[in-house]
Amino acid sequence: MNCPQDWPEPIVRVQSLSESGLKALPDRYIKPQTQRPVIISGSQNDVNIPLIDLGGLFGDDSALRATTLARISEACREWGFFQVVNHGVSPELMDRAREVWRGFFHQPMEVKQDYANSPKTYEGYGSRLGVTKGAILDWSDYYFLHYLPGCLKDHKKWPARPSSLREVIDEYSAELVKLSGVLLRAFSGNLGLEEDYLQNAFGGEDIGACLRVNFYPKCPQPDLTLGLSSHSDPGGMTILLPDEHVPGLQVRKNGSWITVKPVSHAFIVNIGDQIQVLSNAIYKSVEHRVIVNSAQERLSLAFFYNPRGDLLLQPATELVTQEKPALYPAMTFDQYRLFIRMKGPQGKSQVESLKSPR
Ligand SMILES: O=C(O)CCC(=O)C(=O)O
Q: What residues line ligand 1, using a CB cutoff of 6 Å?
A: 212, 214, 228, 233, 240, 242, 248-249, 288, 290, 300, 302
Ligand 1 atom showing the smallest separation from residue 233 Cα: 10
Q: Helix-strand-coil percent breakdown of the chain, rounded to 5? A: 35, 20, 45
Q: With bands split at pLDDT 50, 70 and 90, how would you rate the model's confidence at 5?
A: confident
CA of 82 to the centre of ligand 1 (A): 14
Q: Atom 5 (ligand 1): residue with closest C-alpha?
A: 302
pLDDT at 169 exceeding the cut of 90 = yes
Q: Atom 3 (ligand 1): residue with closest C-alpha?
A: 249
Probe residue for ligand 1, chosen from 245, 267, 290, 304 as the CB with the greatest number of ligand atoms within 8 Å: 290
Q: With bands split at pLDDT 50, 70 and 90, how would you rate the model's confidence at 336?
A: confident
Hey, CA dihedral for 246, 252, 253, 255, is it positive or negative?
A: positive
Per-residue pLDDT, averaged over 105-121, amounts to: 97
Q: Report the range of poorest mean pLDDT among 37-46, 194-203, 317-326.
A: 37-46
Ligand 1 atom showing the smallest separation from residue 242 Cα: 3
Ligand 1 atom showing the smallest separation from residue 238 Cα: 10
Residue 357 has a pLDDT of 54
Contact 331, 201 (CB under 8 A): no
Probe residue for ligand 1, chosen from 286, 288, 298 as the CB with the greatest number of ligand atoms within 8 Å: 288
One of 2.60.120.330, 3.30.300.30, 2.130.10.30, 2.40.50.140 is the CATH number of 14-348, namely 2.60.120.330
Per-residue pLDDT, averaged over 6-10, amounts to: 95
pLDDT at 177 exceeding the cut of 70 = yes
Per-residue pLDDT, averaged over 303-317, amounts to: 96
Contact 271, 100 (CB under 8 A): no
Say what the pTM is.
Answer: 0.96
Give the separation between CA 181 and CA 309, rounded to whole angstroms.
18
Q: Atom 6 (ligand 1): residue with closest C-alpha?
A: 302
CA of 41 to the centre of ligand 1 (A): 23
Per-residue pLDDT, averaged over 112-129, amounts to: 96
Contact 76, 271 (CB under 8 A): yes
Q: Report the range of poorest mean pLDDT among 79-93, 95-109, 339-353.
A: 339-353
Ligand 1 atom showing the smallest separation from residue 212 Cα: 9
Give the separation between CA 30 and CA 291, rounded to whole angstroms.
13
Probe residue for ligand 1, chosen from 129, 219, 240 as the CB with the greatest number of ligand atoms within 8 Å: 240
Give the separation between CA 275 and CA 269, rounded to whole angstroms.
13
CA of 300 to the centre of ligand 1 (A): 7
Q: With bands split at pLDDT 50, 70 and 90, how would you rate the model's confidence at 342?
A: confident
Per-residue pLDDT, averaged over 305-309, amounts to: 96
Give the separation between CA 147 and CA 152, rounded to whole angstroms.
7
Give the separation between CA 180 and CA 66, rounded to whole angstroms.
19
Ligand 1 atom showing the smallest separation from residue 248 Cα: 3
Q: With bands split at pLDDT 50, 70 and 90, how would you rate the model's confidence at 2?
A: confident
Ligand 1 atom showing the smallest separation from residue 140 Cα: 1
Return the H-helix or E-strand segment holding 188: helix 165-190
Residue 244: CB atoms within 10 A of its CB come to 15
Radius of gyration of the chain (CA): 20
Q: Helix (H, G, I), strand (E, B), or coil: what is residue 229?
A: strand
